[in-house]
Amino acid sequence: MRRLGLWAAGILIALASLGPFLWIALTSLKSPDQIDDSPPGLRPEFDLTFYHVVFSKHDFLQYAANSFVVALATTVLSIALGALAAYPLARIEFRFRRTVLALVLAASMFPQIALVGGVYRLLFDVGLVNTLPGIVLPYTGLSLPLSIWILTSFFREIPVEIEEAARVDGAGHLSTLVRVFLPVAAPAVFTAAILVFIFAWNEFFFALLILTDPAVQTLPVGIAKFPGQYQVPWGELAAAAVAATLPLILVVLILQRRIVRGLTAGAVKG
């Protein structure tokens, strides 16, 4: 009976979580005539008109390519810099180590609206406004606390004997990190990379203010431009939202075990 209750609770939670996405997906499959029905119907005609409009009328593929480049570059930089910061925080004794970790956590708590003014001014002064590198840099800064905390937690649980064996073989700190810690910490690295990639793919606020040139805008900003002055193309917005979100959902569903393993591995000793 208890197991049945847990299954029922899990199904209800899953339906509540997937409900908004399923509604958007059904809306995207309606015909143009169905989209204005009141009350809205639950049985779409599985019409792909709105998807055709999204890919032919709008620069959806260009926005997607920009988002992919930005998310990939952010992920590589964030993991590389996060690993370089996490290793000494986890394994090297130095003064104020806990203070540094607290500052890393505090940095992640600043609201974006409090940071964007200074970030925009800095990017403007160095000529990086309306460029993809100009959005990768703040994204890297925003995602670094997450990378550092995940990797630090995992690095702490790596047996000291592995590090000592590398030292005996003449490896320095950097060599130990690259050749020993990163391969052993692959689950944590993978988890941090997925979470950073999703953050950079979905981020809207900084992209809206820094990327005003349509040629370099990312998916969230590009989709936000769909509504006109006098109408909101709900069908096109729904189709674009599904096309932008479905790849991430599939990746998370396929790799969910590795993600959970990476998030929990550093919390268990041994």
What's residue 187's pLDDT? Answer: 83
Q: For the chain, what is the domain count?
A: 2
What's residue 67's pLDDT? Answer: 96
Residue 217 covered by a domain:
yes
The stretch 132-139 carries a mean pLDDT of 95
**Taking the model in full, what pTM does it have?**
0.88
Same domain? For 131 and 260 the reply is yes
Same domain? For 182 and 149 the reply is yes
Residue 54 covered by a domain:
no
Same domain? For 100 and 202 the reply is yes
Residue 21 covered by a domain:
yes
Same domain? For 27 and 64 the reply is no
pLDDT at 269 over 50: no
The stretch 227-241 carries a mean pLDDT of 88
Give the tokens for residue 10: 């899990």
Q: Which of the two residues, 254 and 122, has the higher pLDDT score? A: 122
What's residue 143's pLDDT? Answer: 93
d(CA 267, CA 262): 10
Same domain? For 89 and 36 the reply is no
Which range is most confident: 5-19, 194-208, 239-253? 194-208
Same domain? For 20 and 139 the reply is no
How much is the mean pLDDT over the chain? 87
What's residue 265's pLDDT? Answer: 58
Residue 53 covered by a domain:
no
Here the CATH number for the domain that contains residue 174 is 1.10.3720.10
Q: What is the pLDDT of residues 47-84, one digit of tens each?
A: 899 999 999 989 999 999 999 999 999 999 999 999 99
Same domain? For 67 and 183 the reply is yes
Same domain? For 140 and 16 the reply is no
d(CA 167, CA 160): 11
Residue 270 covered by a domain:
no
Q: How confident is the model at residue 263 (pLDDT cuts 50, 70, 90)?
A: low
Residue 236 covered by a domain:
yes
SS3 annotation, the chain: CHHHHHHHHHHHHHHHHHHHHHHHHHHHCCCCCHHHCCCCCCCCCCCCHHHHHHHHHCCHHHHHHHHHHHHHHHHHHHHHHHHHHHHHHHHCCCCCHHHHHHHHHHHCCCCHHHHHHHHHHHHHHCCCCCCHHHHHHHHHHHHHHHHHHHHHHHHHCCCHHHHHHHHHCCCCHHHHHHHHHHHHCHHHHHHHHHHHHHHHHHCCHHHHHHCCCHHHCCHHHHHHCCCCCCCCCHHHHHHHHHHHHHHHHHHHHHCHHHHHHHHHHCCCCC
Closest by CA to 245, choosing from 202, 215, 183, 181, is 202
Q: Which of the two residues, 33 and 200, has the higher pLDDT score? A: 200
Same domain? For 121 and 240 the reply is yes
Same domain? For 121 and 191 the reply is yes
Q: What is the pLDDT of residues 138-184, one digit of tens each?
A: 999 999 998 998 898 888 888 888 888 888 878 787 888 888 888 88
Same domain? For 34 and 159 the reply is no
Q: Are 240 and 58 in contact (CB under 8 A)?
A: yes
Q: How confident is the model at residue 229 (pLDDT cuts 50, 70, 90)?
A: confident
pLDDT at 211 over 80: yes
Q: What is the pLDDT of residues 20-32, one digit of tens each?
A: 888 889 889 988 8
Query: The domain containing residue 107 runs over which residues?
Result: 59-265
The stretch 203-224 carries a mean pLDDT of 94
Same domain? For 150 and 199 the reply is yes
d(CA 219, CA 207): 9
